[in-house]
Structure formats: C-alpha cells, structure tokens
A and B are shown apart, each in its own frame.
Chain A
Amino acid sequence: MKRLRADLHIHTVLSACAGLSMSPRRVVDEARRAGLALIAVADHNAAANGPYVREIARGEPRVLLGMELQSQEEVEILALFEDADSCLTLEAEVYRDLPDVNCDPELFGDQVVVDEQDNIVRRVEKLLLSPVPWPLARLVKRVEDLHGWTLPAHVDRVPGGLLAVLGLLPEGTWPEAAELSPWVRQAEAVSRWPELAKLPLLRSSDAHFPHEIGRSWSELTVAEPSLAELRAAAEGRGGRRLRAGPHCKEGR
C-alpha cells in the first residue's frame, strides 16, 4: 500500500475560463512539479484534452479522463473514467444536447483542443459553460452505466456546489463521496453541512491556471493510482484510505 497525492479536478485550455497556457503538456509538467501521482482532467462539459494529457504523462502521473458536468439544476459534478472511450462517448452525448449558444471568445475565452505537440486541433463552437439539459439523476446514472464514477464538485460552493444549489443531499445512495472547494476548512464545511460528516471527502485544486495545480489535493492510501483503487479507498476497503488535504490558504 502506498500513500500518494491526487488532484482530481484540473481544467485545461478547453475550459473557456482557464488560461491559454493550460495545454496538456503544461498540465503534465505542473502535476509532476506538484508531486502528484494521480490526476484527473475535468473541463466543463468536455473531455477532449484528457487523452492528450494521458499520452504525454505516460503514467507519471497516472491520468483519469473526466469532465466537470453541470446538470439542469446547475449542480456541478465530477465524472471520472479509466476508459477514454467511455468518457468520450459521454462527451459526445452531452455536447449534442447542449443549448445552441456559441462561445464568444471575446466574452468567455477560448475553448480549444490542443494535442501533445501544443498544436491547436480544433475550437469547440458551443459554449461549454451552459448547463447540460439533463436532470442530475440522469447524468449520474449515465456515468455509472459507462463505468465511471461521479461525485459532487466543490460541494460547499456557490455557484454549482450540490449543497448550495439543492440545500440537502438527495435521497438515495448517491453520492458516495464529495469534493470540498480548495479554500474551505473541512471542519467549517462539516459544521455548516452536517451531512458531510457521513461522506468520504476529497479536495482538489480546481486549477484553471498552471501554478494552481496541486495547490490543494487528496491523500490516498492505495495499492496503485487508479479509479478502482480510488473507489475502494472511498469505501475504506482493505486498509485503503481517502482523505482531503488541507485547505488552500492563498489565491482565492
């Protein structure tokens, strides 16, 4: 069993609100600098830069494919996948259903797919910051059907945090874990939202700019850095552990 750091919420230049310098190559460089063993690429309602990040990283760090999906209720969740095709399948389904509102780069920033050589492959037309017109439960179910894992992103935060938007955890078995926003103290979040005490908590950087990668992280005690091990750690199976790292003290 190894103890390692994971940052499971990193944006790239495919997110309009992220810096143009967040190319797949730069993301990998910064993740190595931050000593991360496992990362996930999670752009807004999109995944296309993830495979390039994985290709460049060659296992150092291990890379999960992912998306930060925004539901009809405007709740944001992380969807994490080991399998790239499953993630890209969901990306295509979600893109088809996004509203026909195009991204004006002057207003929102660029949404570009960039390859392992830092070349622009394509620009994404529709604004990825629009919510996907699917109820939260449908998004969660679709991710599960594709063997991915979902958890609420920055659960405490307005906008987009599950508890801020929906006030209470939904009924049922979801979520199995939750991500804290980088700046909130864990004790503060749990005291404001006592239901969080029941859940394993992660923390990630939600990085939009290179220096933000690894500014906050989760600590995993696992056999190897993978999605299956992450899920086992969330369940506390076989001595595996998942723990939110300390809150970020700067750069809010």
Chain B
Amino acid sequence: MVGRAQPVSTWPGVGAAGLVAALILGTLAAVALRAETAGGFGPADWSALRFTSVQAVLSAVFSAALAIPVARALARRRFRGRRVLITLLGAPFILPVIVAILGLLQVFGRAGWISDVLGLVGLPPLRIYGLHGVVLAHVFFNLPLATRLILQAWQEIPAERFRLAAQLGCDGGTMFRLIELPMLRRILPGVLAVIFAICLTSFAVALTLGGGPRATTLELAIYQAFTYDFDLGRAALLSALQLALTVAAALAALRFSQRDGFGAGLDRAIRRWDGGAPVRDAFWIFAAAAFLFLPLAAVLISGLAGLFEMPIQVLRAALTSVLVACVSTVVFLTLALPMAFAVAAGRYGIVELSGILGLAASPLVIGTGLFILIHPVANPSTLALPVTALVNAVMALPFGLRILVPAAREVVTRHGRLALSLDMNKKTFFTLVLLPRMRPQIRFAAGLSAALSMGDLGVIALFADPQIATLPLQIYRLMGAYQMQAAAGAALLLLLLSMGAFWLLDRGGRHHAET
C-alpha cells in the first residue's frame, strides 16, 4: 500500500514512532554505555528466561481463551447494567501491583475467602502459590483487556453480515464459523502478543504468587542487576532480551493476523438474531464478573474503613496523580493518533513495532536511562512529574494502538478512495471523516491511558522528591510505615479515581454498549 496516495499524512506518525523508539532504545543504550563491565548471562538468567517465557505464554493463552466466550456473551446480550459492568471489567488492569496482590490473596490465598468456604466443608485451603497462581493473577489483570479488545472487534463487524446470516437461516454455530471466527483470527494474534509482552515484565506478582525463587522472572533479574550487583551491563543485556522477545511476538502477531477481506457495511446498529444459549452466555458473564470482582470487593472492603480518615498528604498526592494523568493523556494522544493514522495509511511495520516496544521496556531501565541522561544537565527530581507523565504515556501506547489502529484502518480503507476522488484535502478528511468516525475509540483509548497513568507507579520512585508524591507512591509509603489501613483506604481512592477518569473519558463505554 505504501506509495499510493493516502488521505492522511504519515510523517507525523513516523516521527512520533521515531521519538518513542528513541526514548526506549536511547535509555537502554544510556544504561549500557554507563556500564563498567560487559554483562554476561549466568545459568540463573537462563532459568529466569525460561520461567518468564513459559508463564507469559500460558497467561496470554488463558486470558485470550477465556475472553472469547465472555466477549461473545457480552456482544450478544443486552441487559441492565451492561455498560457499568463493561467499565468495571477494566478495573483490575489499572490496580497498582501491591494492591492487586493483597486483593487477590484475600480471595484465593491460604486464609482467603475461598479457603474459608472450603474449610466449612472440611476441605484443606486452596494451594494458590506456584505457576498456576502466577497464571491466575495474570489472567486477573489481562482478561479485562482481552475481553475489551475482542468485544470491540465484535462490535465492529458490519451489522449487515448478521442480518444476511439471519436471513439465510444460520444458527448460532454457523454464524460463529462464518462471521465471528474470521474476525477472531484477525484479532487474536495481536491480543496474544500484547498480553505475552505485558507478562514478560512481571516481577512482584510473579514472585509472590509463584511462591518463591522458582518464579524468578527477567524483570527480577534486571532489578537484581541494578541494585544487588550494580551490574549495569547485565541489566541492559537482560532488558534487550526482553525487548527482543516482545519484538519477536509482535512480528509473529503481524504475520499471523489476516486482514478482513469482506465488504464493508453501512454502520447500522448491530442486531443479533441468534438468541440461543442464554444460559451459557449468562454463565460466562457471571463467572467473569465473579472472578474479577471478588478481589476488587476485597480491596473495597479493606479500604472502606480507611477511606474516611485519609491523611491530607494522601489527598494532595491524589491531586498530583490527577494532574499527571491529564498531562500523560494529552501526550499519549499526541503520540498515538498520528501513529494510528500512519499505520492505517500503510506504514505499519516500523510504527507498530515501536508502539509495542513500550510493553517490554522495563520501567527500571527507562527510568535509570532517563536519569543518566538528565542528571548532567538538570536536577532530575525537579523533572519528576513531567518525566512520569511522559513514561506513563509511552507505556500506554501499545494498548492505545490496539484500540485505535483497527478503527483508523477501517475508516481509511472504507472512505479513503472516495475522499481522494473528491479531491478532499488531508485536513478536511481529518476533521470531517477521520475524527468523528473514530471518536469512540479515541475516547476509550484516552480513558485507558488516563486510568493506567493514575494507577502506575511508573518511574516516580526513581526521581522522587519528598514534596511530590503520586498516589501509588503514597500507598507504598503508607505501607512502609506500617499504616496498612490508611494504605488500603488510599488504594480504594486510587481505584475510584482511575475508574472515574476512565468513565468520564470513555463516557460510560457508550460505544460498546450500543453502537
């Protein structure tokens, strides 16, 4: 497609992609160049690589496999509270790691709710610690993302196809095979690659749920190289390995994801005529909701007591976090939109790749690299907030692009030729066609970026200044000072703020509720 006239410019997107790649690879290079000795791998690193890959593959496969029936059920059913449910489904994804661990273990732990129930009927407590625990936790984090991405693809199937299938008398199974399966084959490779990459950088979750040093991941090895051994060369090498794995996964996803070869539709609201199996759909919706909401309920219950005796410092940190989330979202959109348009206009390879790099970049390496680069010219702690906002925006890019790219591609292929034949200039195409048609996806992506930025500890801990703290950092500080109850209250506040920001920007998932 490259070389043909396009109704949108590709250079801003290529430029943005270049900036992102420069940030991620530049910080990695800064760390590598600062190293005193050339790093090398030890046997422990190889076993970390093995464990990291195995758990990431399993987590991706289980998250995506479970997301399919949940997304299908949500796509087929209309019920009261569906919109709220879809928004809340996103909550686990944005929880700070330490809060999520405590919430998960209050449900699935030795002394968790499930073990309590088992105890009532005389059964031993659940044995959650191990590889299965790691996968369970990662499914908890990523099932919502997978469900949202797949659900979105479901909503983007032209309504005409379902109508035609219904006229031809297709039953649910046939409809699945003819319409939905091709869609899944298009979207699943990308979903698997994204979740695989997210799980590659897991550290605290994998270690805690994995039950000990058997569950050593690459990210732990990077942390160890930085702090325990101060071996920057090894840290850079391990981080490069993480990036290589992610790029390999992304390339595989690009290769396997087939394009939609079918005709376009007229954007009608989707109506389904295959109303069969309501019990099965209800089961999947109920099971997913229970799995995701029980740990959230644990966070809610332990947070309620602390919510009303919040120290003033927590409220101040909350304000800082909201500010960081706003700036981060603006930066995110400035990078993500041109990149999505460039991909839609055919420049997909390099732009999509640099977009996905953010997933595998170790926050520790980016933070340390930025520190090395900034320190000679400025005081890093005065730049704590801008740097945090920037890094959070880059970290949200991979998710944002997954949301924006399919829609941008659809608009450009569907309306591009007409626009060109009308001699519509790029600016007019952008304001009259592209933006209005992509509004729902832009809102969803912006909401996700804001929520992620709010909940992520990011690099603030590396740059911190005692006067400036974000809410996640303040939660860690409260816990470090034995104030577990206040920390639980602050975690609940964070959850409410993140969900609020998401809801506000996504406008209650309007797009997904009814197209």
Q: Do A and B come from one complex?
A: no
